[in-house]
Amino acid sequence: MKQIYFLVAILACGILSSCSKGGDRGELTGVPQRSFRAEVPFGMVYIPGGSFLMGQTDQDITFSQIAQTKQVTVPPFFMDQTAITNSQYRQFVNWVRDSIAITNFLGDEKYYLKPAKGESNPSGKKYINWAYVKKYPVMSPKKGNGSAGASQKLQGMYYQGDDRVFDRNELDVRLLKYNYALMVYRNAANYKDDKTKKRSDFILRDTVPVYPDTLVWLSDFSYAANEPMVEGYFSHPAYRNYPVVGVTWRQARAFTVWRSRYNDAYKDSRHLPHRLPYALPTEAEFEYAARGGRIGTDYPWGGPYIKNAKGCLLANFKPGRGNYTDDGAAYTVNVKSYFPNDYGLYNMAGNVAEWTSSAFDESASTFVHDLAPTFDYEAKPSDPPVLKRKVVRGGSWKDVGFFLQNSSRTYEYQDTAKSYIGFRCVTNYLGRDIKDKR
């Protein structure tokens, strides 16, 4: 019997191999595609899908009545373990800086990709060779690569005339603008039966200045000596692992688009399938992730107390009547300060409040869906300010404890930058929930 089973197995293997080599024999076998294995993006953690009671679960001491409870379900996704740091955001700024330097000032063909042998370029478009840029940095070219000539051409990147201080070459950050386009799928769905609409009607095109507003450390606080933070917070390496601030909602979204394209370029170079795009978390995703899988708790670490058994504060906020340093810092802290929640996420409460992708409406919980809920609105420049409000979650280093609660929600206008608002990214998990795999 064993010999018979062995022969049958060999025969089956032969049939399968002949099918794969000789075609599908007219059978429905599906389109051949590369296998895909889910990967956890660098710096992110996996958040399993689930259902939770969204909104105020204990108290609403301000009687704001804008956090009605609602049972909602969130699909699985990946989320940055920490808020985006100064160092990470500077990678975006430097990429934009180098792109502008190469395309608008340098005029050096060595920084562009060459068409493959025998290929033509009918469109005439040129693409930057980023591998060459890494080898020969644009703003500080290596010797032997036309250093003197390049430096002369790049003078236009710096402040000129009376704008110069001690005749130093300081980058004119007003030049750093990022152009991008993305599909607004909600609008496409709303007008899918409108024959007068074209695809281009649903493409959002935006140009965003990318450099953070470092003056927020002064403009946010009257009569406060925060000049050292203006000069050093974003630029000094001592703050490289601190959360980036002074970034508007539009800048944060532009960063997510750039991050998606940056990863897509790497995947394309190795013929790998793309991830789904990076984005800001929805309001529901942020609260669900902040709770860390716990039910009915006030804070990401559980609660109801904001101190541990030893009396140590568990987040960076404004304790008491304003003893800012009681939690270990007068301003922000390193993004991996304090203990992470049960999902491995740091500072989902305190340090910096964070932008979400959701538009703010006091009654949103009454009309959003209970599956992957969010309220989105793409505000036009001509819209009144009330339509440009975006939900901010998590509370910050200058907020009292109430705003650190998982269910607390507030807002800020999409074109404003603050010294206490940062952001982190999410990307959807492709396929089946990891915890459901057998």
Could you write out the DSSP letters of every residue in 324-337? GGGGT-SS---TT-
Closest CA to 190 of 360, 370, 378: 378
Give the range among 39-48, 49-58, 223-232 with minimum mean pLDDT: 49-58
pLDDT at 66 over 80: no
Helix, strand or coil, per DSSP, at residue 408: coil
Q: What is the pLDDT of residue 116?
A: 74
Positive or negative torsion for Cα 259, 263, 269, 271: negative
Closest CA to 417 of 381, 390, 377: 390
- For 428, other C-beta atoms within 10 Å of its C-beta total 16
Give the range among 10-24, 250-264, 268-282 with minimum mean pLDDT: 10-24
SS (H, E, C) 166-194: CCCCCECHHHCEEEEEEECHHHHHHCCCC
Helix, strand or coil, per DSSP, at residue 44: strand
% of the chain residues with pLDDT over 70: 88
Name the band, by pLDDT with cuts 50, 70 and 90, for residue 434.
low
Q: What is the pLDDT of residue 437?
A: 47
Q: What is the pLDDT of residue 86?
A: 98
Assess contact for 249 and 417: CB atoms under 8 A. no
Domains observed in the chain: 39-85+214-252+277-438 (3.90.1580.10), 97-117+128-175 (no CATH)
What digits encode the pLDDT tens for the residues 285-296?
999 999 999 988
Region 322-334 average pLDDT:
93
- For 245, other C-beta atoms within 10 Å of its C-beta total 30
Closest CA to 404 of 282, 291, 308, 296: 291
pLDDT at 436 over 70: no
359, containing H or E segment? strand 353-359
What digits encode the pLDDT tens for the residues 167-194?
899 999 999 999 999 999 999 999 999 9
Helix, strand or coil, per DSSP, at residue 77: strand
Give the range among 28-42, 155-169, 251-265 with minimum mean pLDDT: 28-42
Region 311-332 average pLDDT:
92
Closest CA to 216 of 188, 247, 187: 247
Give the range among 30-39, 206-215, 302-311 with minimum mean pLDDT: 30-39
Helix, strand or coil, per DSSP, at residue 85: strand
pLDDT at 143 over 70: no
More confident residue, 64 or 409: 409
Closest CA to 335 of 397, 406, 256, 402: 397
What digits encode the pLDDT tens for the residues 330-377?
999 999 999 999 999 999 999 999 999 999 998 898 899 999 999 999
Residue 304: is the preceding peptide bond cis (ω within 30°)? yes
Give the range among 122-136, 311-325, 413-427 with minimum mean pLDDT: 122-136
**pTM of the predicted structure, to 2 decimals:** 0.90
Q: What is the pLDDT of residue 320?
A: 86
Q: Cα separation of 139 and 142, whole Å?
A: 10
More confident residue, 63 or 198: 198
More confident residue, 2 or 356: 356
CA atoms within 13 Å, Cβ hemisphere of 158: 15
Q: What letter represents residue 274's amino acid?
A: H
Mean per-residue pLDDT of the chain:
89
Q: What is the pLDDT of residue 61?
A: 54
Q: What is the pLDDT of residue 87?
A: 98
